[in-house]
Amino acid sequence: MKRKLYPLGSLVLLLAAWQLAVTLLHTPAFILPSPVAVIQALVVDGPGLLQNSWVTLYESLIGLGIACLLAFCTALIMDRWQLLYQSFYPLLVISQTLPVMVLGPLLSLWFGFGMAPKIILVVLMSYFPIIVAFSEALGKVSGEQIRFLQTMGAKSWQVYRLLKIPQGMQGFFAGLRIAATYCVSGAIIGEWLSAEAGLGYYMIRVKNGYQIDKVFAAILCVIVLSLGLNIVTRIFQKLYYKTFIQGRLS
């Protein structure tokens, strides 16, 4: 209970200080709206925010799913053939130095102004944390356990199925939890650059009209989506281990 009450109490104090500062300093709403104004905007424009949130969530889930599949397969391939790991892993690290805002216009130029550039941005932002965490977890599997299975006649694919993948899934889910938070940001950035719907498009539209309270309401929706995906990832992790343990016991 303390672990939950302490952050909740800090949040309440922060919101109270925010409301008090806006009230005492008479800050214009187009510069910094009060928390009460943000909640009012969230209620008044709820249907529009909900509709745009579904678009952003759809782009995030598609991109995250593709990133999971690519990261899972490439991590296994690089772990199986160390030459590929030594050749391509440094390139993956270097790729993270490229700013996403630079890639956005190029993706729009190459793939048009539809949903494809947004999904690709989500994939690019989600792929790296998953493959790094999963690759490191695969590399930390005990060599003695691997040799034991090999002495029992296990083939390479059986070593991965029985030992490496089950133990490496902890790293996979650790990277997935990070990617689940990043993926919404990737979709938002793509919508900032070119979109006709989504929370990023909504932010740009209301920002141009100096409706900053609605901008904060959209930010609140982004936070809810990111936290929701993170929670869903944790649920999937618990279900996986529960199913895996039950399967081993049976």
Alpha-carbon distance of 138 to 127, in angstroms, equals: 16
Q: Using an 8 Å Cβ cutoff, are 201 and 195 in contact?
A: yes
Over residues 148-194, the pLDDT tens digits come to 787 877 788 888 888 888 888 888 999 999 998 888 988 888 888 77
**DSSP 8-class letter at 113:** S
- Span 110-127, average pLDDT: 84
Q: What is the pLDDT of residue 62?
A: 93
Contact 191, 11 (CB under 8 A): no
Give yes or no for residue 54 having a pLDDT over 90.
yes
Residue recorded with tokens 């956005």: 104
Give the list of residues 6+ apart from residue 88 with CB closer than 8 angstroms, or none.
78
Q: How far is CA 152 from its chain centroid?
A: 40
Alpha-helical (H) ranges within the chain are 2-25, 35-44, 46-80, 82-95, 100-111, 116-139, 143-151, 156-159, 165-193, 199-208, 212-249
Contact residues for 122 (Cβ-Cβ < 8 A; gap 6+): 59, 60, 62, 63, 64, 67, 183, 186, 187, 190
Q: What is the pLDDT of residue 244?
A: 72
Neighbours of 26 (CB within 10 A): 6
51's tokens: 């509709």
What pLDDT, in 10s, does the model give residues 10-33? 888 888 888 888 888 887 877 888
| CATH architecture, domain defined by 36-249 | Orthogonal Bundle (1.10)
**70 pLDDT tier (thresholds 50, 70, 90):** very high
183 in Cβ contact with 130 (< 8 Å) = no
CA distance 222 to 226: 6
pLDDT of residue 97: 74
pLDDT for position 250: 53
Domain layout of the chain by residue ranges: 36-249
- The pLDDT, as a whole number, for residue 246 is 61
pTM value? 0.85
Confidence band, pLDDT 50/70/90 cuts, at residue 73: very high
φ, ψ (nearest 5 deg) of residue 78:
-70, -30
The per-residue pLDDT for range 182-225, each reduced to its tens digit, is 889 888 888 887 778 888 889 988 888 888 889 999 999 999 99
Q: What's the average model confidence in pLDDT over 130-143?
A: 87
Phi and psi for 154 in degrees, rounded to 5?
A: -70, 135
